[in-house]
Amino acid sequence: MIFLKLFLVFSYIGLFNFGGGYAMLSFIQQEVVQKEGWLTESEFTDIVAISQSTPGPIGINCATYTGYTAVVNDGYPWWMGILGSILTSISVLWLPFIVMIWVSKLLLHYKDHLVTQSIFRVLRPAIIGLLASAALSLMNTENFGVPLQNPVQFSISIVIFAVVFSGMYMRKLNIIYTTFSCGLLGILLYGVLGL
């Protein structure tokens, strides 16, 4: 029963999602790609690309897209996919909403307390590990090509990665322009030139 499973998995992802959309990706990757196999690694990467380039919170974009794709990949028609995407978007929201109503007053009261600050002093560095593990897991052959089988694609991928990383790190590139430029480069190299 994919709908029940989607509800449970995305409720769980919502409840433990600290540290923004990027930290959420490590949950989606582990639960949705690796454990349940609802998406392939490259589908997941494409979803991240699309989520980053469209308006709205990345976490919601990602949940919506995953819900649709998972249901359709499971053999249901497209309109069931719409239900799936609405289900995942709501699943990811409802528990944090309840937590917010219960906890907000308490948190405001204790926000300068030594213990509260200490919790976040440990939590923030740990969340960086969530981001790093998501990025590391995506450095795979589905996204970069197999080095020995397809050395041309692999080399191109490494160059794209290095250029985008250093460009983004040193001066803030526009994410949408960057994504589209790399896509057009892909069309030129793999489509037109047939590399």
Partner 1 sequence: MNKELFLTFLKIGGFTLGGGAAMVPMMEKEIVLKHQWLSKEEFLDIYAVSQATPGIFAVDMASHIGYKIGGVKSGIIAALGVVVPSIVIILAIAIVFSQFKDNPWVEAFFKGVRPAVVALLAVPIFSMARSARITWANCWIPIASTLLIWLCGVSPAWIILIAGLGGFLYGLYLNKKQ
Residues 127-186 that bind partner 1 (CB under 8 A): 127-139, 142-145, 153, 156-158, 160-162, 164-165, 168-169, 175-176, 178-179, 182-186
DSSP readout, 104-138?
HHHHHHHTTSHHHHHHHHHHHHHHHHHHHHHHHHH
Distance (Å, rounded) from C-alpha 122 to C-alpha 142? 34
Closer residue to partner 1 (CB): 8 or 158: 158
**Contact status, residue 3 vs residue 84, Cβ threshold 8 Å:** yes
Closer residue to partner 1 (CB): 129 or 151: 129
- Site pattern 52..71 for partner 1 (x: CB under 8 A): xxxxxxxxxx--xx--xx--
- Site pattern 27..46 for partner 1 (x: CB under 8 A): x--x---x-------x--xx
**Shortest reach from residue 1's CB to partner 1, in Å:** 22
75 binds partner 1 (CB under 8 A): no
Sign of CA dihedral 140, 141, 144, 146: positive
**Contact status, residue 61 vs residue 92, Cβ threshold 8 Å:** no
